Amino acid sequence: MATRIGFFTRLLDKVPASERYRLATEQIQYAEQLGFDSAWVAQHHFHENEGGLPSPLVFLAHVGAQTQRIRLGTGIITLPMENAVRVAEDAAVADLLIGGRLELGLGSGGTPSAFDTFGLTFDQRGDVFAQHLATLQDAWQGKTLTETDNRLYPPALGLDKKIWIATFSARGAQLAGKAGHGLMLSRTQPRPEGQPHLPLDALQNPIIDAYLEALPAGVTPRILASRTAFVADDHHYARKVALPGLTEQAAGYRRAGHHLRGETLDDLIGQFDAHIGDPQQVLTSLRQDSVLPRVTDISFQVHSVEPSHRDLLHSLDLLSRYIVPVLRSHTATRELERSL
């Protein structure tokens, strides 16, 4: 599969919201200058320490006015919390404003405590997601909405072909594949009980298998894998920068009731499936991931390392110079497959 490389910014800088948005805009502009194919942002309601961006389509319309080529995506919109018709309208307008560069990543999950504010329980999210997704598709395909004669305006130009579904499960991947949507794989995910050292690719390869098996004949697969990668000139410096963020992430993981593998930095790097070090170390680490040769898209983020803005930009530069060319290369991809 051809590999497109993206950048995923989480807007977690410890600064006021306006400055977060300015820094993220600058990061995406720099990613475009470096040749990255896409940039992604997540939606989070209320919890500034988890993302601080409740309105990703508004933000991407702003970024789109300051970029020319890079595709701009949501990773993800938490669809159960949204009015599906309004998402359809906002996405249609945003896509027109940015020249058809919008990609729509959607999911059912989110911070459990946020659902109550939107009149939902966390347990309702799956059923509501399915209902809202059906409404989105109807709207973007030009069908009448509910029992009225109303149709979406402005009409969506192919947005129904740019849906990506985020899931942790083979069942979710099967549903995404059957519908012809793209599949989004997370940078990390919880391990099954009693298997804390199970590699991430051991969890995600069966998800890819289910997706490809369900994909209708003639539909081109779209599989995006998000991965944490922080690259520095010196691996000691990379580890020093990584320690505070990973330690904070581990504390949140414990509070959520998850089991940790251990307490050392190497334990935390393994726990959160992070690729950290100098360019050669990060490339060597990525070579161990048997998911990557199977995907069409990779989006790199620094979460949960949380470096400074300056270090993040330098990491993007090193990725673009030393790692992205290898991942783009069909020859290198075949060599990677043979080495795993």
Convert the pLDDT of each residue in 76-131 to its tens digit.
Answer: 999 999 999 999 999 999 999 999 999 999 999 877 888 888 889 888 999 999 99
Tokens of residue 63, six digits: 């970024």
**pLDDT over threshold 70, residue 133:** yes
Average pLDDT over the chain, rounded to an integer = 93
DSSP secondary structure of 124-185 = GHHHHHHHHHHHHHHHHTTPPPTTSS---SSPPSSGGGSEEEE-SSHHHHHHHHHHT-EEEE
253-264 average pLDDT score: 82
CA angle 113, 115, 118 (to 5 degrees): 135
Q: What is the dihedral of CA 25, 31, 34, 35, to 10 degrees?
A: -120
- The reported pLDDT for the residue numbered 297 is 97
Taking a C-beta distance cutoff of 8 angstroms, is the pair 273, 286 a contact? Answer: no
How far is CA 172 from each of CA 49, 178, 185, 322, rounded to the nearest angstrom? 28, 10, 11, 34
**pLDDT over threshold 60, residue 337:** no
Collapse the DSSP code of 118 into the 3-class scheme (helix H, G, I; strand E, B; otherwise coil) and give the result.
helix
Longest dimension (CA), the chain: 63
- The reported pLDDT for the residue numbered 331 is 40
Collapse the DSSP code of 294 into the 3-class scheme (helix H, G, I; strand E, B; otherwise coil) and give the result.
helix
Cα torsion angle, 187, 260, 319, 7, sign: positive
Tens digits of residue pLDDT in 285-320: 999 999 999 999 999 999 999 999 999 999 999 999
Tens digits of residue pLDDT in 184-196: 999 999 888 888 8
Strands 163-166 and 182-185: parallel
Q: Please, which residues bridge with residue 98 across strands?
A: none
How far is CA 337 from each of CA 111, 187, 221, 274, 332, rounded to the nearest angstrom? 36, 20, 19, 20, 9
**pLDDT over threshold 90, residue 234:** yes
**pLDDT over threshold 90, residue 254:** no
Tokens of residue 126, six digits: 């799956």
pLDDT bin (cut points 50, 70, 90) of residue 2 is low
- The reported pLDDT for the residue numbered 196 is 82
Q: What is the pTM of this model?
A: 0.93
